Amino acid sequence: MFMIMAGHLSEFTGKKKNGEVHITHKTTYPFSKWEIVELAEEIGLCLVEKVPFAIRYYPGYVNMRGSGAQINQTFPLGECSTFKFAHNILFYSSLIDALCNAGKLTIAREMFSSLPTKGLQPNVQTYNIMISGFCKEGLLNEARKLFEKMDMNGCSPNHFTYNIIIRGFLQQNEISWAMKYFQMMVDKGFSANATTKTIWIDLLSAKKAEQAARDWQSKQDKYAKMQWKKDEEREAKERMLAEQVTRDWQSKQDKYAEMQRKSEEREAKKRMMVEQAARDWQSKHNKYLEMQRRKDEEREAKECMLAEQATRDWQSKQDKYAEMQRRKDEEREAKERILAEQAARDWQSKHVQDKYAEMRRRKDEEHEAKERMLKEEALKTRTTREEKAAALELEKRKGGFVEYIKICMIVSFGFITATRLNPFASG
């Protein structure tokens, strides 16, 4: 009925991973009177949290009507909240009881063992159901261990617990254990119920009392022997378990060491891969830097070449301009020199002619003066020579040969001198 009601104006939002059941329900009147929490508690659910509904937490959510003419049609949500429910221990107790009654004790035991993982602790009713299930299957040792574990976990047995375990031992003719738990029950202040009393009366009647006693003694002896054997077997099993645990521990240690070694190898491989990746990246980076450097050098070289070419072109233009300017200057200077030389020649020509005429005049005057002097000197020399010749003739006549030679030499010297001084004179 709850799900039908919830399906009409509420939505089963989903079952979460932690076992919660989320129900989205309108909170306005009259829907607030539906008592969702009480209905959930009736089927073993307890409210964990109530929060405003947020559709982003439920991907794929679609609301629809559960009945009526517009069945499976959407409806406006309005104000609604999400009720988060979790199964309580009552639910699991009922489920475990149903499994025990159906003979599925293994599944019931697994569910009972998994309760702490769900955040639930078994209560006395849950323990009673499991102990009853063990007793029905004849697993008295399991029932006894669970009874002891129950008290250790802080859940005290009640009179139902004692009656259940006593009935279990009585039904299996375990009188000693039944008497032991009966005494414990009496010490706790509990009393046997009608069913337990009936079983006790049947077993302790006059007809069966002696046989029961012998059986009890025989069972006690058997129990003692079995207990002794069980103790030895338990000790052997414990030794075997200890050895097995040691071997398992050693095996786990070896596996752990192997896993650790493999993990270290993986880490080493990862480091090598990271280092290789770093080296590859560094190599690529270096190549990129080298390419960039070469490109920069080539660009700089091109820029330098262009700059040098521009400089050479500019220098060539400057040289051409300078050469043209120099040629123009030289042509201008040549023209100016030509003009100056022409002017100088013109001026020089007139001046030279005048000077040459003056020099010619002076030379002629000097020549005429020299000619006059030479003529006068020649005349003097000729007169002297004639006088000397006369004197020589006289000396020859008078004096001898030596005097004659001297005179001849003097005359010759005078003639030569006169000839040099006056080349125009005739001999």
CATH number of domain containing 152: 1.25.40.10
Query: In the structure encoding, which two tokens stand for residue 221, read together?
Result: 């002896």
- Residue 242 domain-assigned (yes or no): no
The count of domains in the chain is: 3
Mean pLDDT value across residues 221-241: 80
109, containing H or E segment? helix 105-113
Residues 96 and 141 reside in one and the same domain: yes
Distances (CA, A) of 101 to 51, 160, 169: 39, 18, 19
Range of the domain at 166: 92-204
Residues 83 and 96 reside in one and the same domain: no
Nearest to 82 by CA among 19, 20, 39: 20
pLDDT at residue 70 is higher than 80: no
pLDDT level of residue 425 (50, 70, 90 thresholds): very low
User: Which of 54, 87, 120 is the C-terminal boundary of a domain?
Assistant: 87
pLDDT at residue 117 is higher than 60: yes
User: Which of 87, 120, 140 is the C-terminal boundary of a domain?
Assistant: 87
Give the HSE-up count for residue 35: Cα atoms under 13 Å, Cβ half-sphere: 5
Is 159:193 a contact under the CB 8 Å cutoff? Answer: yes
CA 152 to chain CA centroid, nearest Å = 55
Percent of the chain with pLDDT over 90: 0
Is 411:419 a contact under the CB 8 Å cutoff? Answer: no
Q: Give strand pairing partners of 84.
A: 22, 49
pLDDT level of residue 250 (50, 70, 90 thresholds): confident
Residues 35 and 110 reside in one and the same domain: no
- Residue 55 domain-assigned (yes or no): yes
- Residue 342 domain-assigned (yes or no): no
- Residue 224 domain-assigned (yes or no): no
In this predicted structure, which of 130-134, 224-228, 381-385, 423-427 has the lowest mean pLDDT? Answer: 423-427
The SS3 assignment for 9 reads helix
CA 126 to chain CA centroid, nearest Å = 56
Residues 52 and 79 reside in one and the same domain: yes
CA-to-CA distance for 56 and 70, rounded, in angstroms? 26
In this predicted structure, which of 116-125, 284-293, 409-418 has the lowest mean pLDDT? Answer: 409-418
Residues 166 and 185 reside in one and the same domain: yes
Residues 123 and 55 reside in one and the same domain: no
Quick one: pLDDT at residue 203? 64
- Residue 346 domain-assigned (yes or no): no
In this predicted structure, which of 13-22, 73-82, 101-110, 269-278 has the lowest mean pLDDT? Answer: 13-22
Residues 115 and 67 reside in one and the same domain: no
Nearest to 31 by CA among 56, 14, 53, 16: 53
Residues 101 and 192 reside in one and the same domain: yes
User: Which of 43, 72, 87 is the C-terminal boundary of a domain?
Assistant: 87
Residues 128 and 61 reside in one and the same domain: no
CA-to-CA distance for 341 and 98, rounded, in angstroms? 148
Quick one: pLDDT at residue 221? 72
- Residue 292 domain-assigned (yes or no): no
Residues 14 and 77 reside in one and the same domain: yes
pLDDT at residue 198 is higher than 60: yes
Quick one: pLDDT at residue 417? 59
- Residue 373 domain-assigned (yes or no): yes
Residues 59 and 119 reside in one and the same domain: no
Task: Please give the backbone phi and psi of residue 155, each rounded to the nearest 5 degrees, phi first.
Answer: -110, 100
Distances (CA, A) of 169 to 20, 121, 386: 40, 27, 210
Quick one: pLDDT at residue 411? 65
Mean pLDDT value across residues 286-304: 89
Is 198:242 a contact under the CB 8 Å cutoff? Answer: no
One-letter amino acid for residue 416 of the chain: I
pLDDT at residue 206 is higher than 50: no
pLDDT level of residue 192 (50, 70, 90 thresholds): low
Residues 187 and 119 reside in one and the same domain: yes
Q: Is the pTM of this model over 0.85?
A: no
- Residue 217 domain-assigned (yes or no): no
CA-to-CA distance for 120 and 88, rounded, in angstroms? 7
Measured from the Cβ of residue 5, the count of other Cβ atoms closer than 10 Å reads 17
